[in-house]
């Protein structure tokens, strides 16, 4: 059996910037002294005249991005998720979100899988923060292919975009023919017993959980929810009606993220059991990323447990 190709979504982000830079000249890239880590360094090397390093001043970088966007240019600015969404929240909200400017925030090193960087850098609150900003689009790609297609799609969006990328290399799930559409969930596997809605690196774990459940005679539907805002309400409600139970899986706090977004929709539209899998209101800590994912229960076996719980809760 051939080895599965693994690439970090942040690498897909960097590669996409270069490819898009070759095709269009209507955007600039900003970074906050982390170009080697965020992978915007690829763009800096290819197009130095269109790249600006703002130094370790993330809040200032957002203000600069807003100023440039106000002139009609599109701007992609990047830093670690903890800094882009956390430290610079006020500037993102007031300088970018409020005037609804065309700024794309490429936030890398999100979630527990930042690993050895430890609790201060393991941002599991960013989606919750960005969801509260009116008009903000939130995209969380599952693999390198989706990351590259998402960046291209983001440049066509009118208004601010928050894109979430990871440090850890993850399996490449999709081929070059994969169709990416902002705001549309993708059904990867059909099933009638329970629906697993996953985002980011948890999509691969959900696909593994599908096979484990299948061995036990449980037919799970798998949905890749790459866009968390605007959420694809239609696919969520359809899944609730047809399977009667939902599990959400995310590398983010269970408070305010994908699970909350799905629950909010179903609470109002079609109530069914919803069981959330994510980080349970705790901080992370330093350690190898794969071991942390095991420790915090962000694996296929944990999804299987939640799926069985959701099925048992059906009326």
Strand partners, 31: 53, 78
Using pLDDT thresholds of 50, 70 and 90, give the confidence band for residue 190.
Answer: very high
- Catalytic residue of the set 3, 58, 187, 242: 58
Rounded-to-integer distance, Cα 251 and Cα 270, Å? 25
Question: pLDDT, tens digit, for every residue of 98-117?
Answer: 999 999 999 999 999 999 99
Query: Strand 246-253 and strand 161-164: pairing?
Result: unpaired
- Asked whether residue 1 carries a pLDDT value surpassing 80, the answer given is no
Please provide residue 184's backbone torsions phi and psi, each rounded to the nearest 5 degrees. Answer: -120, 115
User: What is the 8-class DSSP label of residue 119?
Assistant: T
CATH class of domain segment(s) 6-171: alpha beta
Rounded-to-integer distance, Cα 280 and Cα 11, Å? 28
User: What is the 8-class DSSP label of residue 92?
Assistant: I
State the average pLDDT for the chain: 97
CB atoms within 10 A of CB 93: 18
Nearest to 252 by CA among 109, 107, 110, 116: 110
Question: pLDDT, tens digit, for every residue of 116-139?
Answer: 999 999 999 999 999 999 999 999
Instruction: Yes or no: say if 42 and 17 are a contact pair by the CB < 8 Å rule.
Output: yes
287: left (phi over 0), alpha (psi -120 to 50) or beta: left
Instruction: Yes or no: say if 35 and 53 are a contact pair by the CB < 8 Å rule.
Output: yes
Question: pLDDT, tens digit, for every residue of 4-40?
Answer: 899 999 999 999 999 999 999 999 999 999 999 999 9
Query: Which ranges in the chain are annotated with CATH 3.40.50.920?
Result: 186-312
Rounded-to-integer distance, Cα 280 and Cα 275, Å? 12
Please indicate, yes or no, whether the overall pTM of this predicted structure exceeds 0.85: yes
CB atoms within 10 A of CB 286: 14
- Asked whether residue 285 carries a pLDDT value surpassing 80, the answer given is yes
Query: Strand 227-229 and strand 220-224: pairing?
Result: unpaired
pLDDT at 24: 95
User: What is the 8-class DSSP label of residue 110?
Assistant: B
pLDDT at 315: 73
Residue holding tokens 């690439």?
7
pLDDT (mean) for 238-265: 98
Rounded-to-integer distance, Cα 166 and Cα 13, Å? 10
CB atoms within 10 A of CB 181: 12
Nearest to 312 by CA among 245, 251, 221, 260: 245
Query: Which ranges in the chain are annotated with CATH 3.40.50.970?
Result: 6-171
Rounded-to-integer distance, Cα 313 and Cα 87, Å? 40
Which stretches of 132-189 are DSSP H helices? 144-154
Instruction: Yes or no: say if 127 and 252 are a contact pair by the CB < 8 Å rule.
Output: yes
Residue holding tokens 């079609």?
270
CATH number of 186-312, picked from 3.30.1490.190, 2.40.30.40, 3.40.50.920, 1.10.287.130 = 3.40.50.920
Query: Strand 194-198 and strand 220-224: pairing?
Result: parallel
pLDDT at 2: 57
User: Is residue 58 flagged as an active site residue?
Assistant: yes
DSSP codes of every residue in 261-306: HHHHHHHHH----EEEEEE-S----SS-HHHHHHHTT-SHHHHHHH
């Amino acid at each position: 059996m051939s080895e599965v190709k693994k690439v970090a979504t942040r690498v897909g982000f960097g590669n996409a910037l270069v490819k898009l830079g070759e095709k269009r000249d209507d955007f600039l890239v900003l970074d906050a002294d982390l170009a080697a880590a965020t992978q915007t360094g690829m763009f800096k090397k290819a197009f130095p005249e269109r790249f600006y390093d703002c130094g370790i001043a993330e809040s200032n970088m957002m203000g600069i991005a807003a100023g440039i966007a106000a002139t009609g240019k599109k701007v992609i600015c990047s830093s670690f998720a903890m800094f882009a969404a956390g430290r610079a929240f006020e500037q993102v909200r007031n300088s970018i979100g409020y005037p609804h400017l065309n700024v794309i925030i490429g936030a890398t090193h999100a979630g527990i899988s930042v690993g050895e960087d430890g609790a201060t850098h393991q941002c599991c609150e960013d989606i919750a923060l960005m969801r509260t900003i009116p008009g903000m689009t939130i995209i969380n790609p599952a693999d390198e292919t989706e990351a590259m297609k998402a960046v291209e799609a983001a440049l066509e969006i009118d208004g601010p975009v928050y894109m979430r990328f990871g440090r850890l290399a993850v399996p490449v799930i999709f081929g070059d023919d994969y169709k990416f559409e902002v705001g549309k969930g993708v059904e990867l596997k059909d099933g009638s017993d329970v629906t697993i809605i996953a985002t980011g690196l948890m999509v691969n774990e959900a696909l593994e959980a599908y096979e484990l459940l299948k061995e036990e005679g449980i037919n799970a539907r798998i949905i890749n929810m790459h866009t968390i805002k605007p959420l694809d309400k239609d696919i969520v409600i359809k899944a609730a009606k047809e399977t009667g139970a939902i599990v959400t899986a995310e590398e983010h706090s269970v408070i305010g993220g994908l699970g909350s977004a799905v629950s909010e929709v179903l609470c109002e539209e079609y109530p069914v059991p919803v069981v959330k899998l994510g980080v349970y209101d705790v901080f992370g800590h330093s350690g190898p990323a794969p071991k942390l994912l095991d420790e915090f229960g962000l694996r296929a076996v944990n999804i299987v447990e939640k799926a069985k719980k959701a099925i048992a809760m059906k009326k």
